């Protein structure tokens, strides 16, 4: 058990990569509060987890992730249930609208940044406040994307927002290192989730073929990266964006 007794929060935990990460964290002894965008998907995810192990310490909530006060209340409430601790905060929720630039409105662009960047910033800020107060640091992990390095065929909002996640992570690692707070990101390659199922398959198939390992990434592969980075096995690792992409640098 890599995370025995650790207290964690995970945004975008109701499905896909986030759900796999919540499950991996619970299996490894953590207490987890996760967030989703709809109450019914949060409830469904909770039911799935409780069916695996009813004793797992897990709760789910729907919160506006870019609302500082709401996030502060949610993270603090979970910490207060666990002796005031927050050990690991994972900011994973994201959207990928894939809209061509001629159709992409300024409001849509801002909305992508609200979910993919502002919400990550707010989560990092709230987590920092709690982790500084507990005095012995913590770990903040964010979900970036391979598209930050390679772009995407359409939807310039998404790769650029993930580039911001990468540099936000890097900057905060420098700023928060002296407080004992590690800050890292995981950059998934094309991962078999609902988000990818909703993209045009003519994009996806060639990427699978081009990846050196000739496969898509599974949500559990990303969860394992979050497990490593959140654990003491990574105690000297900060500021990195770990690419988990079947070697997809050739995408
Ligand atoms: P998904 O669509 O299956 O799940 C997204 C999660 O984010 C869900 O839990 C959803 O409830 C939550 N979410 C979305 N919008 C939200 C909002 N406005 N408010 C609150 N929660 C919201 O996606 P996924 O494929 O599991 O992706 C997870 C993360 O990984 C995202 O940040 C995504 O950009 C990133 N990523 C995914 C891939 C991939 O190939 N699947 C590749 C690179 C990066």
Which pLDDT tens digit goes with each residue over 209-232? 888 999 999 999 999 999 999 999
pLDDT of residue 68: 98
Nearest to 91 by CA among 140, 33, 145, 42: 140
Every domain of the chain and the residues it spans: 7-243
pLDDT tens, residue by residue, 90-125: 999 999 998 999 999 999 999 999 999 999 999 999
Q: Which of 195, 196, 219 to mutate to test the pocket of ligand 1 (most atoms within 8 A of CB)?
A: 195
Q: Which residues line ligand 1 (CB under 6 A)?
A: 12-18, 36-37, 65, 92-96, 115, 143, 145-146, 188, 190-191, 193-196
| 3-class DSSP state of 219 | helix
**C-alpha count within 13 angstroms, C-beta hemisphere, residue 11:** 31
Do residues 134 and 84 lie in contact, with contact meaning Cβ atoms separated by under 8 Å?
Answer: yes
CA distances 2 to 5, 126, 129, 230, Å, are 9, 24, 25, 9
Provide the 3-class DSSP secondary structure of residue 143. Answer: strand
Question: Band of the pLDDT at 54, cuts 50, 70, 90?
Answer: very high
Residue with the larger pLDDT of the pair 150 and 36: 36
Residue 249 clears pLDDT 70, i.e. is over it:
no
Q: What is the pLDDT of residue 242?
A: 97
Distance 178 CA to ligand 1 centre (A): 31
Could you tell me which of 13, 21, 72, 3 has the C-alpha nearest to residue 186?
21
- Considering the domain delimited by 7-243, tell me its CATH architecture: 3-Layer(aba) Sandwich (3.40)
Give the pLDDT of residue 236: 98
Looking at the chain, the whole-number percentage of residues with pLDDT higher than 90 is 88
pLDDT 10s digits, 163-191: 999 999 999 999 999 999 999 999 999 99
CA 12 – CA 93 distance, rounded (Å): 4
Q: pLDDT at residue 250 above 80?
A: no
């Amino acid at each position: 058990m890599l995370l025995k007794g650790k207290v964690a929060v995970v945004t975008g935990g109701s499905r896909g990569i986030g759900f796999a990460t919540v499950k991996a964290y619970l299996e490894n002894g953590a207490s987890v509060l996760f967030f989703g965008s709809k109450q019914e998907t949060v409830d469904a995810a909770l039911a799935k987890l409780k069916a695996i192990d009813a004793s797992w310490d897990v709760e789910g909530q729907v919160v506006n992730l870019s609302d500082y006060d709401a996030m502060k209340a949610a993270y603090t409430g979970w910490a207060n249930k666990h002796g005031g601790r927050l050990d690991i905060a994972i900011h994973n929720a994201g959207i990928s609208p894939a809209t061509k630039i001629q159709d992409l409105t300024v409001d849509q662009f801002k909305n992508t940044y609200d979910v993919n960047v502002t919400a990550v910033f707010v989560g990092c800020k709230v987590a920092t406040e709690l982790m500084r107060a507990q005095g012995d640091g913590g770990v903040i992990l964010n979900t970036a994307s391979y598209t930050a390095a390679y772009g995407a065929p359409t939807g310039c909002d998404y790769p650029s927002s993930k580039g911001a996640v990468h540099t936000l992570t890097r900057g905060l690692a420098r700023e928060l290192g002296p407080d004992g707070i590690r800050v890292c990101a995981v950059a998934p390659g094309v991962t078999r989730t609902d988000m990818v199922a909703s993209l045009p398959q003519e994009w996806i198939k060639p990427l699978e073929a081009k990846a050196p390992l000739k496969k898509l990434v599974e949500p559990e592969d990303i969860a394992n990266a979050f497990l490593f980075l959140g654990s003491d096995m990574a105690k000297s690792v900060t500021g990195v964006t770990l690419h988990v992409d079947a070697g997809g640098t050739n995408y």
